[in-house]
Each structure stands twice: as structure tokens, then as C-alpha cells.
């Protein structure tokens, strides 16, 4: 599990395509990277990936065909800035919201405009996901836990304060870019419980 609070911004150093899937090496950047372990999970732009190798400043992961097809990692460019978060430890504060690292869909940045010292972002979302997005609820965008300011049938709005932009890959994200989306886990479970009740 993760929190959606980004711990560092890394970059894609290498990508090797392997029979449809891919192996990637990612610079750890400012990510707290003491004592990484093989097999541990790191969230990369909202995608939970497994560390299969590392050195003092980078780590390697494999991305399956499913991951490449259903997230933005399939079209990832060399040198691209990436939001990074190591898995949540049981003794840490949960400052964002519970994030699984399992991407529900890909959205697209439609517009960005100033809102006092912050910036308001409008992001298109697949219609199948907007029913899970609620005003003042939480959503994970490229691994970042954000509060929803407004939502309609095709898009939602969030506000990014200067600190968030300065300390995440959003500093290099522009209108038109694709972003990974994960809706709040609670919404998924509520839907499942209600569906089970209807069929009981």
C-alpha cells in the first residue's frame, strides 16, 4: 500500500523491450533509498512495480504487457520525470489516502489555469470511472493523492499548491499529457457491498 505522498522524482534511464513486456531502469532521484530490498514495491507514476535489481542511485523493474497496455508506462519517454513512493510501513503516518498502485484508467490533462498561488487542473477521465469520483473526495493522479474540487460525467478538477508542483513530476506535465488514475478504494468497496446486498 501507498499514501499518494510523493517521496522523490526520478527519471527513466533505460528501457529494454522483451518479447512484448519491458525492463526499465529508473533513477531514484531524491527518493529515500537506503537499504532497498529485492522484491519490494515502489510506486512509479501511480503504478506499483517490483524492484528486481538496484544500485546506489537507481533501480530496475519489469513491466508486464498488461501494465504497458493499461497505463502510461507503455509510452514512457527516455528521461521522463516520474513520481516515486516506496511502500507504506506500518509505523508511518497516513498523510494522503490509501493507494494500491493498481491503475484504474488513463486520463488526460485538459486545462491548467491559475487559482491564487495554486493552479487548477481539469483532467478528462474515462466515463466508467467518474461514478467513483466525488467532490471533496480523494483521487490518485500519477501517484499523487489529490482532493477533488469538482466533477462531471467526463472530467474532474483538482488544485495543485506550489509545493506539490515543485516536488513532483507535475512540474513537467503539460496540457495534453496522459496521466494514470486510481479512484478511492472506499468507493470500490461501497459499490461491491451494495451490489452484494441487491443480490442477497
Q: What is the pLDDT of residues 74-124, one digit of tens each?
A: 999 999 999 999 998 877 777 778 899 999 999 999 999 999 999 999 999
Averaged pLDDT, 175-183: 98
Q: What is the pLDDT of residue 196?
A: 78
pLDDT over 80 (residue 187): no
Task: Using a pLDDT cut of 70, give the percent of the chain over it.
Answer: 100
Q: What is the pLDDT of residue 192?
A: 73
Number of CB atoms found within 10 A of residue 88's CB: 18
Sign of the alpha-carbon torsion through 168, 174, 178, 181: positive
Q: What is the pTM of this model?
A: 0.92
Q: What is the pLDDT of residue 200?
A: 66
Distance CA 73, CA 70 (A): 8
Looking at every residue in the chain, the average pLDDT score rounds to: 93
User: Which has more pLDDT, 50 or 188?
Assistant: 50
Q: Residue 137: name the closest of 187, 199, 64 by CA.
A: 187
pLDDT over 80 (residue 166): yes
Domains and CATH numbers, the chain: 8-86 (2.40.30.20), 105-194 (2.40.30.20)
Amino acid at each position: 500500500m501507498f499514501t499518494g505522498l510523493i517521496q522523490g522524482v526520478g527519471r527513466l534511464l533505460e528501457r529494454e523491450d522483451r518479447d512484448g513486456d519491458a525492463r526499465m531502469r529508473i533513477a531514484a532521484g531524491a527518493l529515500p533509498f537506503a537499504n532497498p530490498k529485492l522484491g519490494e514495491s515502489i510506486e512509479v507514476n501511480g503504478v506499483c512495480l517490483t524492484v528486481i535489481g538496484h544500485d546506489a542511485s537507481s533501480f530496475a523493474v519489469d513491466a508486464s504487457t498488461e501494465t504497458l497496455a493499461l497505463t502510461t508506462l507503455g509510452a514512457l519517454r527516455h528521461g521522463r520525470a516520474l513520481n516515486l513512493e516506496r511502500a507504506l510501513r506500518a509505523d508511518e503516518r497516513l498523510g494522503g489516502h490509501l493507494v494500491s498502485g493498481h491503475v484504474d484508467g488513463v486520463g488526460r490533462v485538459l486545462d491548467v489555469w491559475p487559482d491564487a498561488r495554486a493552479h487548477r487542473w481539469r483532467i478528462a477521465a474515462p466515463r466508467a470511472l467518474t461514478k467513483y469520483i466525488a467532490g471533496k473526495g480523494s483521487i490518485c493522479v500519477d501517484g499523487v493523492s489529490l482532493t477533488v474540487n469538482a466533477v462531471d460525467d467526463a472530467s474532474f478538477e483538482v488544485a495543485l499548491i506550489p509545493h506539490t508542483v515543485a516536488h513532483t513530476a507535475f512540474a513537467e506535465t503539460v496540457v495534453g499529457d496522459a496521466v494514470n488514475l486510481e479512484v478511492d478504494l472506499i468507493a470500490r468497496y461501497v459499490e461491491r457491498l451494495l451490489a452484494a446486498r441487491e443480490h442477497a
